[in-house]
Amino acid sequence: MTPEAYCQQKTRQSGSSFYYSFFFLPAPRRRAITALYAFCREVDDVVDECDDPLQAQRQLEQWREEISKLYRGEPEHPVGQALLPVIHAFDLAQEHFLEIIDGMEMDLHHQGYENFSRLSLYCYRAASVVGLMAAEIFGYQNRQTLKYAHDLGMAFQLTNILRDVREDAQMGRCYLPADEMAHFNVSFEQLQQGQWHEGMTGLFALQAERAEGYYQQAFARLPEEDRYHQLSGVIMARIYHRVLEAIQEQGYPVLQRRVSLPRRHKIRLALHCAWQEWWRARHQ
């Protein structure tokens, strides 16, 4: 299996909404974003699938070494090999790869987050850095687009946190700020056990409102001249934003089930968004 085929398989198997946005990219950019996403899946799987924290730590260190080898032109892992032409073609910064690994390490040593200020560093490393790298791959003319990419990454991660609240709790993790949980009188044990508490509606609504704020800030910051360049990111945003809306419309059922969109719905959203942006670009 070639490095590119390995990355394609890793991306397909993830079932992520991101997969549907990659189809609209030219082949070189599609290969690049697929390789980047495969890297993100690899390091995320280290933390989620390894039961031994010491072994997981060693694997993250191995990924740091792989990134060092990548920037020396000597990658060994298929993902590193697929990334080799990408980092030069799109000028991807080595420190951004390392920050993503740092974000996964925060999961490995997870102790919760006292407030949103502390949580925001995790969101930046886990998602906004990926957004900044994706913006480089998609292409842009106006550096304001990087602010859009940062905010969109925050919005994605906050949506994930709300959507996966019980699943994370059952893994011993909580990404809801502790001060906000205390304000609404919600305990970590209630989240783990799926016990509904009247304060949860307010707590979850606050998280949704914060995510919505980042979506709206991101959309407002995207320069008109870069909208079509950033089409894949806009499609991702449309799908993720719809998930957030579904959570709100269904009354925050995140302790009972993981709210998601059917595959056909994701494809329909992607096609509709692509058509809208094409029409918009043609009629500027």
Distance CA 73, CA 182 (A): 50
Q: Locate 278 and state its tokens.
A: 């094409």
Ordered by where they begin, the domains of the chain are 1-109 (1.10.600.10), 112-284 (1.10.600.10)
Read off the pLDDT of each residue in 185-205 and give the average, rounded to a whole number. 93
Which tens digit of pLDDT belongs to each residue from 82-102? Answer: 999 999 999 999 999 999 999
Distance CA 124, CA 27 (A): 28
- Closest alpha carbon to 213 in 241, 175, 192: 241
Q: pLDDT tier at 200 (50, 70, 90 boundaries)?
A: very high
Residue 21 has pLDDT above 80, yes or no: no
Q: Locate 249 and state its tokens.
A: 């419309």
- Closest alpha carbon to 148 in 129, 127, 132, 125: 132
Distance CA 186, CA 180 (A): 9
Distance CA 187, CA 195 (A): 10
Q: What share of the chain in percent tops pLDDT 70?
A: 92
Contact (Cβ atoms closer than 8 angstroms) between residue 142 and residue 116: no
Distance CA 65, CA 134 (A): 22
- Closest alpha carbon to 206 in 226, 183, 229: 183
Contact (Cβ atoms closer than 8 angstroms) between residue 243 and residue 163: yes
* Lowest pLDDT segment from 64-68, 84-88, 254-258, 268-272: 268-272
Residue 62 has pLDDT above 80, yes or no: yes
Residue-wise DSSP of 116-163:
HHHHHHHHIIIIIHHHHHHHHHH--SSTHHHHHHHHHHHHHHHHHHHH
Residue 277 has pLDDT above 90, yes or no: no
Q: What share of the chain in percent tops pLDDT 90?
A: 70
- Kindly report the pTM of this predicted structure: 0.92
pLDDT at 14: 64
Read off the pLDDT of each residue in 125-145 and give the average, rounded to a whole number. 96
pLDDT at 84: 97
Mean pLDDT of the chain: 91
Radius of gyration of the chain (CA): 19
pLDDT at 15: 60
Read off the pLDDT of each residue in 157-169 and give the average, rounded to a whole number. 95
Query: Amino acid letter at 111?
Result: Q
Q: Locate 183 and state its tokens.
A: 């304000």
Highest mean pLDDT among 18-27, 161-170, 269-278: 161-170
Distance CA 174, CA 152 (A): 22
Q: pLDDT tier at 281 (50, 70, 90 boundaries)?
A: low
